[in-house]
Amino acid sequence: MASEGVLSIVLGDRHHLFQEAVRSVLEGEPELRVLATAGNGNHAVAEAERHRPDVALLSANLQNCDGFSATALIRSRVPTCRVVILAGDRDNVALARSIEAGASGYLPEDCPLTEVIAAIHAVHHGDVLIPPNMLGDLIERLAGRHSGREQARRIVSSLTRREREILALLAHGADNDAMAEELYISPQTARTHVQNVLAKLGVHSRLEAATFVNRHGLGEELEGAKRDSRPPTLVDAGVRFSQRQHRASPGRSLPGTSLGGIKRPAPATT
């Protein structure tokens, strides 16, 4: 964080020369301080988590993780950080994606730097900046957002309790080991659950799953599922245990039963 009275900024742009030029101008302002720069989206998210800035100024076309996905992750992990997206002029799709991801401001990439400085101050004070000539189209696009959110909720409701817990952890960037520790399962089981969740959501990566949660405002609902999780009575890698007890005669093994009475699938017979 910057000193009191100085707004702290993380700057993300794929072009180093542009990034340094903007940084130089911003740091010429006595009330602004650039804490870190990033050339790709993943780095921008990491720097925002590390420094917890007041504002993140991100280009929409960041590499590895675009500006919209990075915005959603930053807003999820550093809620106090406001985000301003720089994108193409009159790009209505980019504007809608920015707002849906949680950005507080949208500016054309070729706008004067004085407007960028004014935008940083404005979003820090709680304003939402949308170019007036793009507002009408944005309203039309967001009118269909409610139906999209309801569809997303239906998809999430089709997940099992464990899969909802996994999705909540995905939204916070947890890896397989962290999921395993949190949910008292093995990392391989966590990996299997992640694959199932991605398939049911119709996405291809953990990042897309996290963006899905943030885009549709499902974070609080999933947090409830994660808080309700309790360690299972018996723990094993990917096996759901029956509460019924199984007995075997001395010296005789039952098909499908291993040591300790843990039920596993019996091998297929030909």
Give 121's contacts (C-beta < 8 A, 6+ positions apart): 7, 31
**pTM for this entry:** 0.55
CATH class name, domain 7-143: alpha beta
Helix (H, G, I), strand (E, B) or coil at 59: strand
Q: What is the mean pLDDT of residues 165-182?
A: 91
CB atoms under 10 Å from CB of 173, counted, come to: 16
Read off the tokens for 181: 């520790």
Domain boundaries of the chain, sorted by first residue: 7-143, 146-227
When mean pLDDT is compared across 5-9, 81-85, 187-191, 206-210, the lowest value belongs to: 206-210
- Percent of the chain past pLDDT 70, that is, above it, reads 77
Identify the band that residue 179 occupies on the pLDDT scale cut at 50, 70 and 90. very high
Q: What is the pLDDT of residue 35?
A: 96
Q: How far apart are CA 234 and CA 225, in angstroms?
A: 20
Q: Any bridge partners for residue 7, and if so which? A: 32
Helices (H), the chain: 16-27, 41-51, 67-77, 92-101, 113-124, 135-143, 145-157, 161-171, 176-183, 187-201, 206-215, 219-227
Residue 149 has pLDDT above 50, yes or no: yes
Fold entry, domain 146-227: Arc Repressor Mutant, subunit A (1.10.10)
Of these ranges, 1-5, 107-111, 143-147, 163-167, the one predicted with the greatest mean pLDDT is 163-167
Q: Is residue 142 within 8 Å of residue 182, measured between CB atoms?
A: no
Residue 159 has pLDDT above 50, yes or no: yes
Q: pLDDT digits over 118-143, tens only?
A: 999 999 999 888 877 777 677 666 66
Q: What is the pLDDT of residue 143?
A: 61
Residue 262 has pLDDT above 80, yes or no: no
